[in-house]
Structure 1
Amino acid sequence: MELRHLQHFVAVAEDQHFTRAAERLMVSQSGLSASIRALERELRAPLFVRTTRRVTLTEAGRALLVEAERILAQVRSAHEAVAAVQGVLRGTLAVGAEQCIAGVHVAGLLAGFRREHPDVEIRLRQSGSGALAEGVSAGRLDLAFAYRVPADGDQLRSVPLTSEPMTVLCHPEHRLAELGAVPDPAALAGEVFVDFHPDWGPRRATDAAFAAAGVRRTVALEVNDVHSLLDLVDENLGIAVVPRHFRHKRTSLTALPLKGVDEAAYETVALLPPERATSPAARALIALLGTPEAEPGEPG
């Protein structure tokens, strides 16, 4: 099995289109098709379902994609490790992050990294914490800044960044604004909630806090960006339970401490692969944080 066959396969899987993948790889479409056919013959299984508009992975293709991404990431790490020994840091740094993550200024951190390592290409992906953790485990990301997720010593480890309590945001004319503080999640029963998609860290933290309190809630207004959430609360269409630092993003809203939940309900971490699989670029970025790396298997 040749590495170029795996590279071609991953590109087609990502683009779901032979022509676009061929253009990105700068190879002929016929050559790309021949490469995929060779891989299918070797594995004795079809990897794609082809239509006139797109291609989709077969079950065998989905299984191969996980391993192919991991193999290519290891090969890339090997090249970068040799370059690092020679005193040159180059290659690619693939970073994942949630929106408005606490404990790290992502843009400033990446800017500092670029100044120190101009030969490294930086790629940034923004997504929910679950997807980011999966990306690090699969080798698609070198590291990610996310909400705490259970660490797997074989595939994932974490470096603690910060923790903070959850806060209720509401319109100044909302009935809760007169309280000064919300006693506990039970006091919010029956409220209309604005929140993020379930994979986002703040949503995970809020869901966990209400589940621990035995309080059911319904998210009526679900968004995928911070500004939309704040706009909806600002129009008095619902309330939001968010990490405390969100209160500074819209000072016109009333921020109320939420009692009766873990004071460290929202914890953020840097997610990394196991020590042996961590790229030199990822090590250099973590070093800029000034935070000691976690031991393999250390819970997030």
Structure 2
Amino acid sequence: MELRQLRHFLAVAEDQHFTRAAERLMVSQSGLSASIRALERELQTPLFVRTTRRVTLTEAGRALLVEAERVLDRVRAAHEAVAAVQGVLRGTLALGTEQCIAGVPVARLLAGFRRRHPDVEIRLRQAGSGALADEVTAGRLDLAFAVRTGTDPEQLRALALSSEPMTVLCHAEHPLAAAGAAVTPEDLGGEVFVDFHPDWGPRRITDAAFAAAGVPRTVALEVNDVHGLLDLLDENLGIAVVPHHFRHKRPSLTALPLKGTGGAAYETVALLPPPEATSPAARALITLLETGGA
């Protein structure tokens, strides 16, 4: 089995099409097909189900996909490590982040990184903290800026970045706004909630806080972006429990302190693999963040 064959296999799996994969790899379609057939002969099993329109992975192909990604990631890391020893940082920085993460000026940080390391290709993925932790664990991301939820994989390192309380946001005409007082989960038991998908850090923190308080709550309006959540609140369609810094994003909304949650806090962290598996590019980005060089 050759690295070239694994790269060919991965391209076909990603594009689900031999012609498109061949064009991306800049090889002939016949050569790509021959490479895949040779790999299938060696493994003694079909890797793809081929139709006239697309190709899909077999069960064996799905198993190989996981290992192929891991092998190629380690090869890439090896090349980058050697380049770093030689004083040249190149390769790829694969970064994940939640939306509107606190404590990290992501765009400015990446701009500063690019100025210092122009030979490094930057790839950015936005997702919920749970998915980001899984991606770092699997080696598909070099690091991620996420929310500490207490369920992060044990093999990851979590570098603390910031911490803030959770806050209740509601429309100015909502009865809670008129009272203007701090609230507890018990006070909110009958409210209609707007919240993020369960994979997001703020949602996980809020779910855990209400569960610990023994207060059931139903999320009637579920979104996957911050501004969508704020728009729903602006129309007085519900209330939300969000990180404290969200209150600055929509001054028309009323922010109320949340108490009685046992100190539940929104903590942002940089999730990294063990030191020996951390890429030079990831180390450079963290150094830049810690020194304020963005």
**TM-score of the superposed pair, with normalisation by structure 2:** 0.94
1:279 equivalent in structure 2: 279
Partner SS, residue 88 of structure 2: coil
- 1:39 and 2:46 aligned: no
2:55 equivalent in structure 1: 55
Partner SS, residue 83 of structure 1: helix
Q: Offset at 1:222?
A: 1.1
Q: Kindly report which structure 2 residues correspond to 1:210-225, keeping only aligned pairs within 5 A, or say none.
A: 210-225=210-225
Quick one: structure 1 residues 112 and 264, their matched pair in 2 at CA, closer, same or farther if it must change by over 3 Å? farther
Distance across 2 between alignment mates of 1:97 and 1:78: 25
Q: Offset at 1:224?
A: 1.1
Q: Offset at 1:204?
A: 1.2
Distance across 1 between alignment mates of 2:246 and 2:237: 18
* Runs of 5+ consecutive residues of structure 2 not aligned to the other structure: none
- Per mean C-alpha deviation after superposition, the further-off stretch among 30-39 and 268-277 is 30-39
Distance across 2 between alignment mates of 1:181 and 1:67: 54
Q: Kindly report which structure 2 residues correspond to 1:112-261, keeping only aligned pairs within 5 A, or say none.
A: 112-149=112-149, 150-154=151-155, 156-261=156-261
The C-alpha deviation readout for 1:247-276, integer Å capped at 9, x for no partner, is 110011001111111434211111111211
- Per mean C-alpha deviation after superposition, the further-off stretch among 62-71 and 227-236 is 62-71
Q: Offset at 1:167?
A: 0.7
Distance across 1 between alignment mates of 2:233 and 2:122: 35
Distance across 1 between alignment mates of 2:169 and 2:55: 45
**TM-score of the superposed pair, with normalisation by structure 1:** 0.92
Contact map agreement 1:164 1:263 (CA 8 A) in 2 = no
- 1:8 and 2:1 aligned: no
Distance across 1 between alignment mates of 2:176 and 2:158: 37
Runs of 4+ residues over 3 Å off in structure 1? 149-154
Contact map agreement 2:194 2:221 (CA 8 A) in 1 = yes
- Per mean C-alpha deviation after superposition, the further-off stretch among 47-56 and 191-200 is 47-56
Q: Offset at 1:151?
A: 4.2
The C-alpha deviation readout for 1:106-144, integer Å capped at 9, x for no partner, is 101101111111111111111111211111112111111
Distance across 1 between alignment mates of 2:66 and 2:208: 30
Partner SS, residue 100 of structure 2: coil
Instruction: Calculate the aligned-residue CA RMSD, in Å.
Output: 1.6
Q: Amino acid of the residue matched to residue 275 of structure 2? A: E
Distance across 2 between alignment mates of 1:136 and 1:30: 35
Percent identity, please.
Answer: 82
Q: Kindly report which structure 2 residues correspond to 1:39-118, keeping only aligned pairs within 5 A, or say none.
A: 39-118=39-118
How many residues get paired? 290
